[in-house]
C-alpha cells in the first residue's frame, strides 16, 4: 500500500491543495453570506434566498471539500511519514481548529435559518478573518517545518 501511495504522492498533493482552495473559498464566503442574511429583514423573501444560498454553499462546496481535504491530507501524512514530525502535529491542531470553526459556522447558519441572530454583523466580519490567519499558519508549518 505504501508503494502505491508513494507513486501517487504528487496526485494526492495536487488534489489536497485544490480542495483546500475550494474549502477556504467556502469558509471566506459563508460568514459574508451570514452578514447579508442578517441585514435582510427577518422572514422576508430575501432572507429566505440567503438561507437557500447558504445551504447550497454548505452542501455543494464546503461539505465535499472538507471531507476530501481530510482524506487526502491523512493519506499524504501516511505517505511521507509525517506522524512523527512536530510540525505535522502543530498543523494537525490548526486543521482541527479550522474544522471546528467550519462546524461552528454550520451551527450558526442553522440559527439564522430559524430567525435567531446572536451576533452582530461586525463580529461576523471579524470572524471572516479566521480562515485566512489559520491557513497562513498552516502553510508556514508545512513549508518551513520549524520543528
pLDDT at residue 5 in the model: 66
Is 16 known to sit in a ligand binding site? yes
Q: Note the pLDDT tens digit of each residue in 78-130.
A: 999 999 999 999 999 999 999 999 999 999 999 999 999 999 989 999 999 99
pLDDT at residue 3 in the model: 77
Grid coordinates of 81: 511519514
pLDDT at residue 108 in the model: 97
Q: Note the pLDDT tens digit of each residue in 21-76.
A: 999 999 999 999 999 999 999 999 999 999 999 999 999 999 999 999 999 999 99
Question: Cα separation of 92 and 79, whole Å?
Answer: 16
**Exposed (0-12), middle (13-18) or buried (19+): which is 4, by Cβ within 10 Å?**
exposed
Residues 6+ apart with CB under 8 A from 11: none
Residue 7 has pLDDT above 90, yes or no: no
pLDDT at residue 4 in the model: 76
What pTM does this model have?
0.92
Q: Note the pLDDT tens digit of each residue in 10-21.
A: 999 999 999 999
Amino acid at each position: 500500500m505504501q508503494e502505491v501511495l508513494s507513486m501517487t504522492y504528487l496526485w494526492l498533493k495536487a488534489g489536497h491543495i485544490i480542495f483546500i482552495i475550494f474549502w477556504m473559498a467556502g469558509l471566506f464566503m459563508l460568514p459574508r453570506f451570514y452578514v447579508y442574511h442578517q441585514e435582510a429583514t427577518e422572514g422576508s423573501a430575501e432572507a429566505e434566498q440567503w438561507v437557500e444560498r447558504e445551504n447550497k454553499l454548505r452542501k455543494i462546496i464546503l461539505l465535499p471539500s472538507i471531507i476530501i481535504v481530510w482524506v487526502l491530507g491523512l493519506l499524504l501524512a501516511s505517505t511521507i511519514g509525517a506522524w512523527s514530525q512536530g510540525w505535522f502535529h502543530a498543523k494537525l491542531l490548526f486543521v482541527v481548529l479550522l474544522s471546528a470553526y467550519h462546524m461552528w459556522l454550520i451551527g450558526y447558519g442553522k440559527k439564522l435559518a430559524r430567525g435567531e441572530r446572536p451576533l452582530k454583523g461586525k463580529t461576523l466580519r471579524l470572524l471572516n478573518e479566521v480562515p485566512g490567519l489559520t491557513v497562513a499558519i498552516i502553510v508556514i508549518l508545512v513549508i518551513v517545518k520549524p520543528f
